[in-house]
């Protein structure tokens, strides 16, 4: 088939092919033209009838959104029915005049108008848009009486989302909001467009977002005949909707309340986990916010207040903020030393009150002569861990800590979890650009050894690692949802405990570290907070250094407070058979014993004894590192 | 003497010169029609579409200014870039609608398969030019391989609509380059027989337990829904049923602009993008649909005239292929909306809402203009 052709032959051939292509095009268009003729002339009568006189509309039947309840069935997110006044913009010529007229019989605030405008701009196609929500019975009656004046305006019974506890647990429950352009795009990308026909709301944050698919349910359809005005006149067929599943959490909302109250006005976070299952018992980020503000579009003022607050209430400090763990790192370091064979349980190490490395003196609070592993935890010796860090090396530390999930997303069922930083030479290489910054220095290993330096973990990671310490080395994927409950059949689908890994550790090593942590709260740094506790509790105080204000404005008075160290505490109890493991951090709270440990005391007292405190946990200025 | 180049009249002339008035006039008709339909189908998007149109016209002008030789020198780099990006999508792409089509390059997300719609015919035209005078079977085999790689990458995303368009663009070049009729005719016959048997044996083929070789479940669904829309009136057949009702109810003269009930009562899904043709058909009737066909025929004839006058083999092939790609867009879209082709995501060219497709199409028009302006100088 080799064809060597002259340019002229080649052009001739091309002309022939263009002719063929043109004929092909005309043939195809003729088919299209024929099809148009068939539809628009031959079938016109029939199709016109179907379109004009006998319009069959598919109306979506929106499913009820699932509720969210705590482990004991206390509702955290629920629905209630209320009347809304809605305007169908495609059927109302002068929207503004209509609203003015409506405001004579129904209370319509400027805020309502602004929201109406906003929703109208964002709304897809020609849905009706609410001008007032939650009408009183009296208002409904007044409107119905004068309905004839307002074509295209209707009262609708709709379900609303309500978060009855307000700020309690706001960060984990999250909220829903009106579907906007970006949500629409996501819905389309997941191929869910049909299922969201008629839905106005979608999960935007927290569990409402993570479990959107389960909570939303399946939209049903009603096939109805509509008259020329678009009103349904006859129901032809019906495919009912399937309500969304309820979420039953592992969370104990009473414990959550106690934990939040214990913070008082202080900023910080707390995560409490059942070490036997990975189920989260409490997840606190203070301060909080009221999710009810978001449901129908947050007002500009409210939004600015939340955004401009220096306390950043929208920030989920439990899973998104990362902090150095401070001395709460030491029990894990001790285990690493024992497991690696670098230390024996009873081996005494010199403690002159400092550690020399590379000509630099790493300081401790005091000189203790010698300490063994037990004492090093109880009195929180730095020198012991400076030496240990040096002996383990950074790779040894990172390799061991990685098993506890530090510096790795835990995979909790909440959106927006931070990864944190488990420092290692490899991390530095990828984190920094300049070659001199990429180098790992031996001195950096020393400060990592006492939980400072580049260490940065979420409170969730710290609590989950503590839970693994409490249960003998099983690292779970923490989760908030215990069961999905089918709203129609009440069938409960459990969320199985998901062990990520069994960390290989010798039982006697774990036991030794636990004994030391129990002693911390008897005679060590946690003793003042746990004086007279009726249960055995293992714990460790920590202090996370704050080095910079990160670009905030300098304000006399505030600075001193915001430069204070963060107070950290980890604990599990009862020490012999733990049912709760937790990590607490109070921002700028000082030493671990001063702020975090007293909060842990209140939470554990409530969880184990049912004692409800009557005021926030005290700030213990006498506490020491 | 002052420099005459900067005299305002000359500047204006320089600005206008690349533009072919005939193509521009046809384009103006199509774009205005699109704007009118957008006002009816989705007025809140009309402004956006104006912006898209502005961007697309700039792209067209830029392409029209570029001499074909410069364009040809871009063939290999563009093609390689496209293939690398497609591999990037396969490796790191963002998954959406169950398909990996987008690549996040930090600033924005891009869809490399769109680039391939221009790069593919350009590359093949360049390649045939290199082999001019020595085109043999091996040339075609290499060309087929050049075509197969990106198409295979796009098919696996999976994106049937785009892969068909890219494959078609490449095959048009190969066809115009003179692929033997002995090969074309049997394949065409096979296609006709295959399509015929699908129509005849549709019922058996669409049984739920019949698995289709090489096609994915959703593609099978689309074909089966086409054969019998009523099998799924609430779901996938909804589009086709409603759009045929819209087209048919338009009659000969249409219901009038903004008066389409199917459109305005929201029966037509995607009425501003892929299904905008049904708005035209409902509101302007058979007169409108046939007029649109006529405008498209004018566009295609103009494209072929440019191809026939083109100075080099490469520009001939490129102009011919671009014209055929315009045809493919128009035919596939109107075919699917009127219910004779399966629903594949192909917009109505120059009319549907959306910036990406419009820019690509206008780039094509710009290339045609450039080829036309340089028709005399085969050897510069």
Interface probe for B, chosen from A18, A90, A181 (most Cβ of B below 10 Å), is A18
CB of A587 within 8 A of CB of A561? no
Predicted confidence band of residue A548 (pLDDT cuts 50, 70, 90): very low
CB of A353 within 8 A of CB of A362? no
Q: Could you say which DSSP state residue A575 is in?
A: S
In chain B, residues with a C-beta closer than 8 Å to the C-beta of A117 are: none
Cα separation, A357 vs A366, whole angstroms: 18
- Residue B60 is predicted with a pLDDT of 94
CB of A287 within 8 A of CB of A305? no
Query: Does residue A295 share a domain with residue A208?
Result: no
Nearest to B358 by CA among B103, B14, B27: B27
Question: B-contacting residues of A 238-257, CB under 8 Å?
Answer: 239
User: What are A130-168's pLDDT values in tens digits?
Assistant: 888 888 888 888 888 888 888 778 888 888 899 999 999
Q: Is residue A1 part of a domain?
A: no
- Residue B95 is predicted with a pLDDT of 58
Q: Is A8 on the interface with B (CB under 8 A)?
A: no
DSSP-derived pairing of the beta strands A68-69 and A246-249: parallel
Cα separation, B16 vs A462, whole angstroms: 68
- Dihedral of the alpha carbons of B164, B166, B167, B170, in degrees to the nearest 10: 150
| A77 three-state secondary structure | strand
Query: Does residue A219 share a domain with residue A348?
Result: no
In chain B, residues with a C-beta closer than 8 Å to the C-beta of A52 are: 249, 261
Among A29, A40, A188, beta carbon nearest to B297: A29
Asked which of A227, A249, A271 is the last residue of a domain, the reply is A249
Report the Cα A617 to chain-centroid distance in Å. Answer: 26
Q: Is residue A243 part of a domain?
A: yes
- Quick one: CA dihedral A517, A522, A523, A524, positive or negative? positive
* Percentage of chain A exceeding pLDDT 90: 51
Q: In terms of pLDDT, which residue wins out, A258 or A107? A: A258
CB of A274 within 8 A of CB of A608? no
Q: Is A230 on the interface with B (CB under 8 A)?
A: yes
Count Cβ–Cβ pairs < 8 Å, chain A vs chain B. Answer: 149
pLDDT at residue A199 greater than cutoff 80: yes
Supply the ipTM of this predicted assembly. 0.90
Record the tokens describing residue A388, joined without a space: 């240990």
Q: Could you say which DSSP state residue A162 is in?
A: E
Contact B136 A2 (CB under 8 A): yes
Query: Does residue A48 share a domain with residue A63?
Result: no
Contact B331 A32 (CB under 8 A): yes
Q: Is residue A535 part of a domain?
A: yes
Cα separation, A489 vs B251, whole angstroms: 51
Cα separation, A143 vs A137, whole angstroms: 10
Report the domain count for chain A.
3
Q: Is residue A218 part of a domain?
A: yes
CB of A544 within 8 A of CB of A596? no
| Backbone dihedral angles phi then psi of residue A119, each to the nearest 5 degrees | -65, -40
Nearest to A159 by CA among A218, A242, A81: A81
Cα separation, A191 vs B271, whole angstroms: 18
Mean of pLDDT values over A195-217: 90
Compute CA distances B174 → A11, A465, B128, B137, whole Å.
15, 63, 9, 11
Cα separation, A4 vs A511, whole angstroms: 88
Among A14, A25, A51, beta carbon nearest to B245: A51
Query: Does residue A237 share a domain with residue A324?
Result: no
Q: Is A21 on the interface with B (CB under 8 A)?
A: yes
| A201 three-state secondary structure | strand
- Residue A551 is predicted with a pLDDT of 40
Nearest chain B Cα distance for residue A61, angstroms: 13
Q: Could you say which DSSP state residue A39 is in?
A: I
Q: Where are the alpha helices (DSSP H) in chain B?
A: 8-16, 21-41, 46-65, 68-73, 75-92, 112-130, 137-155, 160-176, 181-200, 202-205, 217-227, 237-250, 261-264, 276-309, 313-337, 355-373
CB of B310 within 8 A of CB of B284? no
Asked which of A249, A266, A298 is the last residue of a domain, the reply is A249
Nearest to A158 by CA among A182, A178, A184: A178
Interface probe for A, chosen from B185, B230, B249, B286 (most Cβ of A below 10 Å), is B249
- Residue A227 is predicted with a pLDDT of 55
**CATH classification of the domain holding A177:** 3.90.1310.10
CB of A588 within 8 A of CB of A562? yes
Cα separation, A495 vs A514, whole angstroms: 30
Mean of pLDDT values over A568-587: 94
Nearest to B361 by CA among B63, B11, B39, B25: B63
CB of A226 within 8 A of CB of A245? no
Cα separation, A593 vs A606, whole angstroms: 19
Record the tokens describing residue B364, joined without a space: 């094509």
**DSSP string covering A305-343:** HHHH-TT-TTS-TTTT--B--GGGGHHHHHHHHHHTTS-
Nearest to A76 by CA among A243, A311, A250: A250
Contact A194 B296 (CB under 8 A): no
User: What are A500-522's pLDDT values in tens digits?
Assistant: 899 999 999 999 999 999 999 99
Compute CA distances A316 → A119, A228, A415, B371, whole Å.
28, 52, 10, 59
Q: Is A438 on the interface with B (CB under 8 A)?
A: no
Which residues, in sequence order, are CB contacts of A463 under 8 Å at separation 6+? A271, A272, A273, A478, A570, A581, A582, A583
Cα separation, A390 vs A355, whole angstroms: 10
Q: How many CB atoms lie within 10 A of CB B299?
A: 24
Q: Is residue A623 part of a domain?
A: no
Query: Does residue A224 share a domain with residue A329?
Result: no
Element (H, E) at A257: helix A253-263
Q: Could you say which DSSP state residue A543 is in?
A: E
Interface probe for B, chosen from A32, A117, A222 (most Cβ of B below 10 Å), is A32
Cα separation, A601 vs A597, whole angstroms: 6
Nearest chain B Cα distance for residue A115, angstroms: 18
Cα separation, A399 vs A503, whole angstroms: 12
> Which residue of chain B is at minimal alpha-carbon distance from A186?
B96
Compute CA distances A425 → A119, A312, A344, A360, A418, whole Å.
51, 33, 27, 21, 20
Q: Could you say which DSSP state residue A177 is in?
A: E
Contact A2 B235 (CB under 8 A): no
Cα separation, B157 vs B214, whole angstroms: 14
- Quick one: CA dihedral B71, B74, B78, B80, positive or negative? positive
Nearest chain B Cα distance for residue A256, angstroms: 37
Tokens 């389960």 belong to residue: A214
Nearest chain B Cα distance for residue A603, angstroms: 43
Cα separation, A270 vs A263, whole angstroms: 9
Q: Is residue A172 part of a domain?
A: yes
Nearest chain A Cα distance for residue B10, angstroms: 37
Query: Does residue A447 share a domain with residue A521?
Result: yes
Predicted confidence band of residue A56 (pLDDT cuts 50, 70, 90): low
Query: Does residue A512 share a domain with residue A364?
Result: yes
Q: Is A90 a catalytic residue?
A: no
In chain A, residues with a C-beta closer than 8 Å to the C-beta of B289 are: 33, 36, 40
- Residue A553 is predicted with a pLDDT of 44
Query: Does residue A163 share a domain with residue A14?
Result: no
Q: Whole-number mean pLDDT of chain A? A: 87
Query: Does residue A350 share a domain with residue A203?
Result: no
Its domain, for residue A71, covers 58-249
Predicted confidence band of residue A107 (pLDDT cuts 50, 70, 90): confident
Query: Does residue A581 share a domain with residue A446?
Result: yes
Report the Cα B75 to chain-centroid distance in Å. Answer: 19
* Percentage of chain A exceeding pLDDT 70: 92
Interface probe for B, chosen from A11, A21, A22, A220 (most Cβ of B below 10 Å), is A21
In chain B, residues with a C-beta closer than 8 Å to the C-beta of A22 are: 300-301, 304
Query: Does residue A74 share a domain with residue A21?
Result: no
In chain B, residues with a C-beta closer than 8 Å to the C-beta of A47 are: 244-245, 247-249
Q: Is residue A169 part of a domain?
A: yes
Cα separation, A362 vs A445, whole angstroms: 12
Among A2, A33, A57, beta carbon nearest to B290: A33
Nearest chain B Cα distance for residue A16, angstroms: 9
Cα separation, A39 vs A162, whole angstroms: 51
User: Residue A286, class by beta-carbon neighbours within 10 Å (0-12 exposed, 13-18 middle, 19+ buried)?
Assistant: buried
Query: Does residue A301 share a domain with residue A213?
Result: no
User: What are A387-441's pLDDT values in tens digits?
Assistant: 999 999 999 999 999 999 999 999 999 999 999 999 999 999 988 888 888 889 8
Q: Is residue A375 part of a domain?
A: yes
Among B178, B262, B264, beta carbon nearest to A3: B178
pLDDT of chain B along its 380 residues, tens only? 456 767 778 878 877 888 889 999 999 999 999 999 998 887 778 888 899 999 999 999 999 999 998 999 999 999 999 999 888 888 776 655 455 566 665 545 567 888 888 999 999 999 999 988 888 888 999 999 999 999 988 887 777 778 888 999 999 999 999 888 888 888 888 888 877 777 667 666 666 666 666 666 666 666 676 666 665 555 556 677 778 888 888 889 988 888 777 766 556 666 777 889 989 999 999 999 999 999 999 999 999 999 999 989 999 999 999 999 999 999 999 998 888 887 777 889 999 988 888 999 999 999 999 999 988 754 43
Cα separation, A21 vs A128, whole angstroms: 50
- Residue A127 is predicted with a pLDDT of 64
Asked which of A188, A218, A249 is the last residue of a domain, the reply is A249
Mean of pLDDT values over A486-491: 87
pLDDT at residue A386 greater than cutoff 80: yes
Cα separation, A326 vs A337, whole angstroms: 17
Q: Could you say which DSSP state residue A38 is in?
A: I
- Residue B146 is predicted with a pLDDT of 92
pLDDT at residue A552 greater than cutoff 50: no
The catalytically annotated residue of A327, A380, A447, A593 is A327
Predicted confidence band of residue A310 (pLDDT cuts 50, 70, 90): confident
């Amino acid at each position: 088939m080799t064809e060597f052709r002259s340019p002229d032959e080649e052009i001739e051939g091309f002309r022939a092919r263009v002719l063929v292509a043109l004929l092909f095009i005309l043939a195809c268009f003729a088919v299209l033209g024929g099809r148009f003729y068939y539809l628009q002339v031959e079938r016109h009568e029939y199709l016109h009838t179907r379109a004009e006189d006998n319009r069959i509309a598919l109306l979506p039947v929106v499913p009820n959104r699932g509720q969210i309840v705590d482990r004991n069935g206390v509702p955290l997110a629920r629905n209630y029915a209320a009347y809304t006044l809605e305007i169908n913009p495609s059927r109302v010529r002068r929207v503004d005049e209509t609203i003015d007229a409506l405001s004579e019989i129904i209370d319509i605030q400027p805020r309502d108008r602004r929201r109406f405008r906003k929703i109208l701009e964002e709304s897809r196609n020609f849905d009706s848009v609410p001008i007032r929500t939650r009408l009183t019975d009296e208002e409904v009656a007044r409107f119905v009486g004068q309905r004839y004046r307002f074509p295209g305006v209707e009262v609708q019974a709709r379900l609303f989302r309500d978060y009855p506890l307000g700020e309690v647990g706001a960060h984990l429950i999250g909220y829903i909001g009106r579907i906007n352009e970006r949500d629409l795009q996501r819905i389309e990308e997941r191929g869910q467009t049909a299922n969201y026909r008629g839905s106005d709301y979608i999960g935007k944050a927290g569990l409402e977002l993570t479990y959107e698919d389960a909570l939303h349910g399946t939209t049903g359809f009603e096939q109805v005949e509509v008259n020329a005005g678009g009103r349904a006149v006859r129901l032809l067929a019906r495919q009912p909707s399937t309500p969304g599943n309820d979420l039953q959490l592992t969370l104990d909302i009473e414990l959550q309340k106690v934990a939040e109250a214990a913070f008082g006005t202080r900023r910080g976070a707390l995560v409490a986990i059942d070490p036997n299952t990975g189920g989260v018992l409490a997840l606190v980020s203070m301060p909080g916010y009221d999710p009810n503000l978001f449901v129908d579009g947050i007002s500009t003022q409210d939004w600015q207040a939340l955004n401009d607050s220096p306390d950043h209430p929208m920030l989920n400090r439990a899973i998104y903020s990362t902090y150095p763990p401070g001395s709460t790192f030491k029990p894990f370091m001790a285990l690493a030393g024992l497991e690696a064979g670098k230390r024996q349980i009873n081996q005494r190490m010199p403690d002159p009150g400092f550690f020399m490395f590379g000509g630099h003196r790493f300081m401790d609070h005091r000189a203790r002569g010698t300490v063994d592993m037990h004492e090093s935890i109880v009195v929180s010796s730095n020198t012991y861990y400076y030496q240990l860090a040096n002996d383990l090396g950074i790779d040894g530390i990172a390799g061991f800590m990685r098993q506890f999930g530090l510096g790795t997303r835990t995979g909790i069922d909440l959106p927006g979890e931070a990864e944190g930083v488990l420092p290692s030479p490899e991390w530095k290489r990828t984190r920094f650009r300049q070659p001199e910054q990429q180098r790992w220095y031996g001195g950096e290993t020393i400060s990592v050894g006492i939980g400072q330096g580049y260490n940065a973990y979420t409170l969730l990671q710290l609590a989950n690692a503590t839970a693994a310490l409490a249960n003998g080395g099983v690292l779970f994927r923490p989760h908030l949802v215990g069961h999905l409950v089918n709203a129609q059949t009440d069938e409960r689908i459990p969320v199985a405990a998901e062990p990520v890994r069994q960390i290989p550790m010798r039982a006697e090593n774990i036991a030794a570290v636990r004994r030391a942590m129990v002693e911390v709260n008897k005679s060590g740094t946690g003793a003042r907070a746990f004086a007279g506790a009726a249960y055995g509790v293992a714990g460790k105080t920590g202090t996370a250094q704050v080095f910079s204000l990160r670009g905030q404005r300098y304000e006399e008075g505030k600075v001193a407070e915001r430069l204070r160290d963060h107070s950290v505490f980890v604990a599990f109890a009862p020490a012999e058979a733990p049912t709760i493991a937790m990590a607490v951090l109070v921002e700028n709270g000082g030493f671990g014993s001063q702020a975090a440990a007293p909060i842990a005391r209140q939470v554990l007292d409530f969880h184990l004894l049912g004692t409800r405190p009557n005021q926030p946990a005290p700030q213990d200025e006498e506490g020491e590192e | 003497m002052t420099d005459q180049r900067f005299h305002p009249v000359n500047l204006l002339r320089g600005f206008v010169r690349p533009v072919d008035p005939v193509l521009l006039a046809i384009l103006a008709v199509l774009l205005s029609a699109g704007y009118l339909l957008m006002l009816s189908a989705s007025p809140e998007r009309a402004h956006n579409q104006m912006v898209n149109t502005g961007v697309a016209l700039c792209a067209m002008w830029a392409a029209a200014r570029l001499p074909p030789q410069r364009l040809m020198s871009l063939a290999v780099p563009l093609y390689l870039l496209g293939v690398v990006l497609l591999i990037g999508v396969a490796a790191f792409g963002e998954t959406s609608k169950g398909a990996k089509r987008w690549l996040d390059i930090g600033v924005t997300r891009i869809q490399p398969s769109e680039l391939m719609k221009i790069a593919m015919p350009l590359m093949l035209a360049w390649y045939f030019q290199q082999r001019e005078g020595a085109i043999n079977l091996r040339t075609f085999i290499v060309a087929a391989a050049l075509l197969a790689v990106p198409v295979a990458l796009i098919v696996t995303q999976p994106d049937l609509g785009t892969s068909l368009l890219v494959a078609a663009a490449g095959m048009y070049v190969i066809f115009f380059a003179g692929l033997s009729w002995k090969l074309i005719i049997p394949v065409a016959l096979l296609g006709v027989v295959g399509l015929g048997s699908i129509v005849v044996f549709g019922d058996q083929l669409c049984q739920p337990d019949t698995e289709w070789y090489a096609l994915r479940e959703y593609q099978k669904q689309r074909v089966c829904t086409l054969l019998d829309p009523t099998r799924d009136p609430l779901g996938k057949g909804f589009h086709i049923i409603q759009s045929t009702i819209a087209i048919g109810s338009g009659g000969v003269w249409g219901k009038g602009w903004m008066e389409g009930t199917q459109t305005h009562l929201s029966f037509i899904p995607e009425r501003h993008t892929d299904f905008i043709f049904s708005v035209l058909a409902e509101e302007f009737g058979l007169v409108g649909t046939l007029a649109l066909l006529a405008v498209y025929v004018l566009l295609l004839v103009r494209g072929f005239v440019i191809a026939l006058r083109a100075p080099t083999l490469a520009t001939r092939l490129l102009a011919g292929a671009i014209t055929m790609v315009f045809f493919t867009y128009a035919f596939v879209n109107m075919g699917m909306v009127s219910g004779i082709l399966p629903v594949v995501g192909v917009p109505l060219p120059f009319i549907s809402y959306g910036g990406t497709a419009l820019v690509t199409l206008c780039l094509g028009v710009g290339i045609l203009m450039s080829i036309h302006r340089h028709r005399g100088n085969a050897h510069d």
